[in-house]
Amino acid sequence: MKRILLITAAVLYSGAALANLELAKQKNCMSCHTVDNKLVGPAYRDVAKKYAGQKDAEDKLVQKVMKGGSGNWGPVVMPPNAQVTEAEARTLVKWVLGLK
């Protein structure tokens, strides 16, 4: 029984991770970011490391996704993302912060 629960949890978790990667692709996030390597913007794993343990990280990054910004990762500006709703931004940020 425990084995079935573990397998079910793993499938659900990996499905959610893939779904959020798909959302990142749909919203054009992957044009500037990758999970593991710096592209135009930082790698998502680097973002997760930088903001690990910060209580306000989720809210701060949701606003960054929606409104854009600059200066945190060098001179390249992150443009605002009008095509991303606040709920989508929150889903994406939770996914990014959950990467290890």
Distance between CA atoms of residues 87 and 57, nearest Å: 16
Q: Where are the domains of the chain?
A: 2-97
Each residue's pLDDT tens digit, 2-48: 554 344 344 444 445 667 999 999 999 999 999 999 999 999 999 99
Distance between CA atoms of residues 95 and 25, nearest Å: 13
CATH topology of domain 2-97: Cytochrome Bc1 Complex; Chain D, domain 2 (1.10.760)
Q: How far is CA 17 from CA 20, 35, 70, 82, in A?
A: 5, 11, 27, 23
Each residue's pLDDT tens digit, 73-90: 999 999 999 999 999 999
Full-prediction pTM beyond 0.85?
A: no
